[in-house]
Amino acid sequence: MKPYKVDETAEQILEILSRDGKASPDDISRQINVPADTVVKHIDKMEADRIILGYHANINWQRIRLNDVKALIEVRVTPERGVGFDHVAGLIYRFPEVSSLTLLSGGYDLLVQVEGENLREVAQFVSEKLATIKGVQSTATHFMLKKYKEDGVILVDQSDSKRLPVS
């Protein structure tokens, strides 16, 4: 993958958009003191060059979809000559159940995040789809019970400290 060079203005735009995807070009231009049309040009170019891949809202799904199941699955893979882990990764990330896939260092090679409507759906994905892929040696599945923070946003209500005051 070739490195993508950005100037200081583009980097500032990216920082603002990473915190607030709804920031308008006018808002951004005021924050970094450049014309709005310059902001628009930078954004258009970075979208065309696949640096900005999309915009999303941080949603606390665990308050809405109470029965959904998410799992993190560590996967050991036999890398293939000439393509390494990329071939197996490509087979895995195409499954609709997979929401995230990351190459790791350490005891496992890949970390797969999977989402399903119930425990059986996730278990079937692991046993019938993931484990049967040529090159997958083993898996270790961890079910996510509760998220406290995601993408820098705290998801739980922050009540007053339960510690007694020190006098």
Domain assignment present for residue 15? The answer is yes
Phi, psi of 91 (to 5 degrees): -70, -35
For residues 135 and 78, is the Cβ–Cβ distance under 8 A? yes
Pair (104, 125) in one structural domain: yes
For residues 18 and 53, is the Cβ–Cβ distance under 8 A? no
Q: Which residue has the higher pLDDT, 68 or 91?
A: 91
Lookup: tokens for 142:
């961890």
Q: What is the pLDDT of residue 80?
A: 86
Q: Measured between alpha carbons, how far is 155 from 150 in angstroms, rounded to an integer?
A: 7
Pair (27, 77) in one structural domain: no
Q: Classify residue 152 by burial, with Cβ atoms within 10 Å: 0-12, 13-18, 19+.
A: exposed
Per-residue pLDDT, averaged over 141-154, amounts to: 86
Whether residue 103 has pLDDT greater than 90: yes
Per-residue pLDDT, averaged over 81-104, amounts to: 94
Q: Measured between alpha carbons, how far is 69 from 88 in angstroms, rounded to an integer?
A: 24
Pair (80, 130) in one structural domain: yes
pLDDT, tens digit (0-9, with 9 covering 90-100), for 37-47: 999 999 999 99
Lookup: tokens for 120:
């059986």
Whether residue 141 has pLDDT greater than 80: yes
Percentage of residues in the chain with pLDDT exceeding 70? 93
Whether residue 165 has pLDDT greater than 80: no
CATH of the domain at 126: 3.30.70.920
3-state secondary structure of 96: coil
Distances (CA, A) of 4 to 7, 38, 41, 148: 10, 19, 16, 33
DSSP 8-state symbol, 144:
E
Whether residue 97 has pLDDT greater than 60: yes
Question: Which pTM does this prediction carry?
Answer: 0.70
Range of the domain at 136: 61-145
Pair (65, 125) in one structural domain: yes
